[in-house]
Amino acid sequence: MTSNPYPLGLRLHGRRVVVVGGGAVATRRVPALLDAGADVLLVAPELTPALRARVDAGRLHWVPRRFVPEDLDGAWLVHVAIDDPMAAASVSAVAAERRIFCVRADDRTAATAWTPAVTRHGPVTVAVLGGGDPRRAMTVRDAIRDLLAVRLAPDGIAGRPDASTGTTGGRQAGRQAGRVALVGAGPGDPELITVKGWRLLTEADVVVADRLVPGLLLDELRPDVELVDASKIPYGPSRAQEEINQILVDRALAGAFVVRLKGGDPYVFGRGGEELLACAAAGVPVTVVPGVTSSIAAPAAAGIPVTHRGVAHEFTVVSGHLAPDAPASLVRWDALAGLHGTLVILMGLKNLAAITATLIAHGRSPQTPAAVVQEATTGTQRVLRSTLGEVAADLRAADLRPPAVVVVGDVVGALDG
Ligand X SMILES: C[S@@+](CC[C@H](N)C(=O)[O-])C[C@H]1O[C@@H](n2cnc3c(N)ncnc32)[C@H](O)[C@@H]1O
Report in angstroms how near the CB of residue 210 gets to ligand X at its nearest. 8
Q: In what order do the strands lie in the sheet with 226-229?
A: 226-229, 206-209, 257-262, 179-184, 286-289
Residue number with CB closer to ligand X (248 or 404): 404
Report in angstroms how near the CB of residue 269 gets to ligand X at its nearest. 4
Residue number with CB closer to ligand X (137 or 383): 383
Chain centre to alpha carbon of residue 188: 16
Question: Would you mind telling me the total number of residues written for the chain in this entry?
Answer: 417
Question: Is the sign of the CA dihedral 132, 137, 139, 140 positive or negative?
Answer: positive
**Residues in the site for ligand X, rule: CB under 6 A?**
187-188, 212, 262-265, 268-270, 293-295, 298, 346-347, 373-377, 402-405
Residue number with CB closer to ligand X (64 or 273): 273
Interior/surface letters 388-415, b for 16+ CB within 10 angstroms, e for the rest: bbebbebbeeeebeebbbbbbbebbebe
Report in angstroms how near the CB of residue 183 gets to ligand X at its nearest. 12
Q: Crossing angle, helix 391-398 and helix 352-361, to 10 degrees? A: 160
Q: Does 210 qualify as catalytic in the annotation?
A: yes
Report in angstroms how near the CB of residue 106 gets to ligand X at its nearest. 47
Residue number with CB closer to ligand X (125 or 231): 231
Q: Rounded to an integer, what distance in angstroms lies between the CA atom of residue 380 and that of residue 400? A: 11
Report in angstroms how near the CB of residue 80 gets to ligand X at its nearest. 46
Residue number with CB closer to ligand X (21 or 186): 186
Q: Does 350 qualify as catalytic in the annotation?
A: no
Question: Is the sign of the CA dihedral 36, 37, 41, 42 positive or negative?
Answer: positive
Q: Rounded to an integer, what distance in angstroms lies between the CA atom of residue 319 and that of residue 379? A: 25
Q: Are 134 and 25 in contact (CB under 8 A)?
A: no
Report in angstroms how near the CB of residue 240 gets to ligand X at its nearest. 13
Cα→Cα distances 407→116, 321, 347, 372, 414, Å: 47, 15, 12, 6, 12
Q: In what order do the strands lie in the sheet with 342-346?
A: 315-319, 342-346, 404-408, 369-374, 382-387
- Of the candidates 224, 232, 399, 416, the residue annotated as catalytic is 232
Residue number with CB closer to ligand X (200 or 400): 400
- Of the candidates 71, 106, 162, 210, the residue annotated as catalytic is 210
Positions marked catalytic: 210, 232
